[in-house]
Structure 1
Amino acid sequence: MLEALATPGLIWVVAATFVAGLVYGFSGFGAALVYMPVATAVVAPPLAIGAFAVSALASLVTLVPRAWHQADRPNTLLMVAAAILAAPLGIWILRTTDVTVIRWTLSAITMMTLLLLMAGWRYRAVPTKPVRAGIGAAAGVMMGSVGLNGPLVILFQLGGPDDIGRSRANTLIFLTLSSLSLVPLMMLQGVIGWEAFWLGLLLLAPYGLGTLMGRRLFDPDKEKVYRRVAYAVVAGAVLIGLPLWN
């Protein structure tokens, strides 16, 4: 724990975690999109990814119980399982790829996701179970390699026919459960140690507080307002996290 308190730039990681939780609580997405660009500008990507995965424990208490009753549980859990099975490939990529390449990839994926969301991308076909499993697996690879399990799933959910309540619930459950699986998977490959675990515990409080505040702000009738705020925060996080500022 003392080692985690001595993490250089800890205050910025804590601040990013709180804002990430706030955005996640009211929009149902965007936590990693906000957190990762900022955190990886301060600490190594494996440590940032592992710590944030631990902080996802807060969502089990603050967000998942309510979302569980609204979600399409069978299909969402299918995607979670596919993500967990595919995540080791992503972790291997993280372990063998240069840090700067990972940070540029992270920023590019985040900005592309943001632009597609702002453009209102939609699809018409009803997704089959193999398609859902494929989306989950691809998200798992991204989760393990750059810490972003959300972009593909967010586009998939928001681009479909579900109302905002169910779409938000599906996304919350997928992101929370898949993120929690990262810690043991990364430890098994030797990518992170106990430092990430202790740092993640420190982030539990700011993340949990942010998600609670965001959940109270959520109002389905003001969907456009909240999405616009979330988009603005994500864009700011991308600019802050660009490797150009090193």
Structure 2
Amino acid sequence: MPAGTDPAGLLLLLGTVLVAGVVYGFAGFGAALIFMPVAVRILPPQVAVAAFAISALSSLVTVVPRAVPLVDRRGVTILIATATLASFAGVWVLRVADVTGLRWAVIGVTAVTLLALVSGWRYRTAPRDSTRAAVGLATGFVGGATGLLGPVMVLFQLAGRDSIARSRATALVFLTVTSLALVPVMALQGLLTAQAVGLGLVMLLPYGLGTVIGHALFRPEGEAGYRLAAYLLIGVAVVIGLPLFD
């Protein structure tokens, strides 16, 4: 058992990361939105972010290989590179900010993202490289500070004109690679603890299993169904993670 984690808390984390993996493999986003609001009730935010980033290693095997051929490689490379750069500033905020404030930030970012996605907002013009860079910078900062790499990028992706299959593939590749890139960034700033590494390795299997199950459930023609399922699960995670319920 990872140091500093009681049996009940560990069981809840493993169950949550399994559900997060199912949502991730199914919809291409939402894993951190499911995991982080619950995890920050049990762990310090720094440990939760680092452990979840390590667990993303399983996605390199389970879902990314099948997603890579579908993405715009230039576009996703710009997103990944700029997000990684901005994550240094985000992780610094994670290191020095108040824990309770960070928990509210996790809930706030999650809730705002959910409302924006449900509203169905879309843009009609093709994004430029500069737009992708701006989205990557914003995503990296928010992700480094709260562990939620998905919200800004997913809103940008789902609001565009790409097919659902391509949007999902882009999100899968981006979120997996940038999550893993957070690991050395956190190590450089002294946040990669033995507890986080141990917990991340323990979560590898349930998270990977969840992504396999989610991928098997995905149907390109079922856009409305998989969006609705992910939104409902995200909403439940927001309620569970509220600091008011401590």
Q: Provide the TM-score with structure 2 as the length reference.
A: 0.97
Q: Displacement of 1:7 after TM fit?
A: 6.8
Counterpart-to-counterpart distance in 2, 1:92 and 1:106: 16
In the other structure, the counterpart of 1:92 is 92
Alignment partner of 1:127: what SS? coil
1:172-222 CA-to-partner distances (Å, cap 9, x unmatched) read: 110000000111111110123122111100000110010000000000111
Whichever residue aligns with residue 158 of structure 2, its letter is L
Query: What amino acid is the match of 2:128?
Result: T
Q: Give the corresponding residue for 1:195.
A: 195
Which residue of the partner structure matches residue 16 of structure 2? Answer: 16
Partner of 2:150 in structure 1?
A: 150
**What residue is the counterpart of 2:213 in the other structure?**
213
> Between Structure 1 and Structure 2, how many residues are aligned?
246
Q: Report what 1:42 is aligned to.
A: 42
Instruction: Give unpaired runs (5+ residues) of structure 2.
Output: none
Residue aligning to 2:170: 170
Q: Which amino acid in 2 is paired with 1:65? A: P
1:128-160 per-residue CA deviation (whole Å, 9 max, x = no partner) reads 101101100110001110001100110111000
Inter-partner Cα distance in structure 2 for 1:15 and 1:170: 26
| Secondary structure class of the residue paired with 2:3 | helix
Amino acid at match of 1:40: V
3-state SS of 2:221 partner: helix
Tell me how far apart the structure 1 counterparts of residues 134 and 8 of structure 2 sit (CA, whole Å): 38
Taking the TM superposition and a 5 Å limit, the aligned residue runs for 1:131-146 are: 131-146=131-146
1:55 counterpart residue number: 55
2:70 is matched with: 70
Determine helix, strand or coil for the equivalent of 1:162. Answer: coil
What percent of counterpart residues are identical? 50
Aligned partner of 1:107 in structure 2 is: 107
Unaligned runs of 5+ in 1: none
**Gap change, CA 1:93 and 1:8, over 3 Å in 2:** farther
Moved over 3 A (4+): 4-8
Contact persistence 2:51–2:200 (CA under 8 A): yes
Residue pair 1:164, 1:220 contacting (<8 A) in 2 also: yes
Distance 1:7 1:91 in 2: 29
1:4/1:199 contact within 8 Å kept: no
Give the letter aligned to residue 49 of structure 1: V
Tell me the TM-score normalised to structure 1 length.
0.97
Alignment check: 8 A CA contact 1:46 1:191 kept: yes
Distance 2:7 2:81 in 1: 33
SS of 1:3's equivalent? coil
Q: Secondary structure at the match of 1:9?
A: helix
Tell me, in whole angstroms, the C-alpha distance in 1 between the residues paired with 2:175 and 2:206: 18
Verify: 1:186 aligned to 2:186, yes or no: yes
Backbone CA RMSD of aligned residues: 1.2
